[in-house]
Structure 1
Amino acid sequence: MFHRKLTALDYHNPSAFDCTDTPTCHLCSDDTQYRNCVVWLEDQKIRHYKIEDRGNLRNIPSSDWPEAYQKYLQDLNCPFGAQEKQESVDWLMGLAVRYEYGDNGDSPDFKAGVTALANILKIQRHDDYLVMLKAIRILIQDKLSSEAITKASHKQEGIPVALDKHVLGFDTGDATLNEAAQILRLLHIEELRELQTRINEAIVAVQAIIADPKTDHRLGKVGR
């Protein structure tokens, strides 16, 4: 469950990281690895403490480390405690990803991708592209939620689509976001097709009325 986040953070050997809910023991291998990861997240990504204030957290062999970690979590307003190993470290990884994203979020290519995606989804432009990204996320969650998918499946039988054959036209820098954008683009195209079909049907109906009007002779008058 941590591999993807650690990979995104360029953590060394993310696939080898292991964290269990078993009680921690002083200096057991898993606990040492866990503590090292927490310290790495603080040192390299989160940087909540000043360097000189990280001593207790960096003192991994200390029996007082759990207390230092608990204080660290409280200082970060983490909703989980030190005893909740998986939940707390996952929360820290998520925080680190957000900070890392914030550090590198001013990439022109990334901004262009967010803007292009917002245009496709007809989301109002905003000076803060992070606000636009949040709006995109909300829309994606709404469109791709289990309820929305279930509702759509009841309307018509789905047709398998190979996303890799549909060129997105830009790169957001995130594979998941790219795939979501492709799906939303296809949904948008389908909506446009449905709208065009209804417009064509309306035009045909109007043409039929014009070509063969039903004359009400009661309304006709000759002369004055």
Structure 2
Amino acid sequence: MFRRKLQALDYHNPSGFNCKDETEFRNFIVWLEDQKIRHYKIEDRGNLRNIHSSEWPAQYEQYLKDVSCPFKAEERQESIDWLLGLAVRLEYGDNAAKYQNAKPLNTDISKASEPLINLDVTNPDFKAGVMALANILQIQRHDDYLVMLRAIRILVQERLSSEAIARSNSSKEGLPVALDKHILGFDTGDAVLNDAARILRLLHIEELRALQTKINEAIVAVQAIIADPKTDHRLGKVGR
């Protein structure tokens, strides 16, 4: 599954690469960092290069975090594919002139106008992209990446669209409030304490409104998923 990217990176054995072989895998990660990614300074690569150390797995986990990989070390195939994608992007950036006259593999204009028609949801690049967006937007992980993608779309529409930003910018935060116009319902016997109680009540009401907004957003997200024809809500899961 990695052969094409390995070929693009001039790896010495693209067809025979076996990520399940621990020694080969560790050597591959060192090669990838030394030759293509180069995230660490040369003097800082010692721990990663020490492939026989019992601490190497922890070092690899730290490496994934340092390069902002959305996958963990135990998700080996996904993390390798993500690192390969990063390396290919960096390779292109370093050798842009080499590829500037390259022709795209698919020049079908009709397909290019609908980029999601041939979307491969099993592709590790797709999964890595969705996972990265979900992490940035703090969306809970789901086993079905399409469900996460729908949740991302809903959040972007509700919070990050131009209309949502316009609504946020037009909010009336900072307007003066006449506390004496708000009925407290009880009297503490102290005017200052009465005003403090009114302020606390107003803040509580605002928190309830924010909570209701989040509840409404959750309902919208659930409705969007249930409305999908692939979803069998009687089974409580997404159909395949």
Please state which structure has a larger fraction of its residues in helix: 1
TM-score of the superposition, structure 1-length normalised? Answer: 0.47
Bigger-Rg structure (1/2):
1
Q: Which structure ranks higher in relative contact order (CA pairs < 8 Å, sequence separation ≥ 6)?
A: 1
TM-score of the superposition, structure 2-length normalised? Answer: 0.44
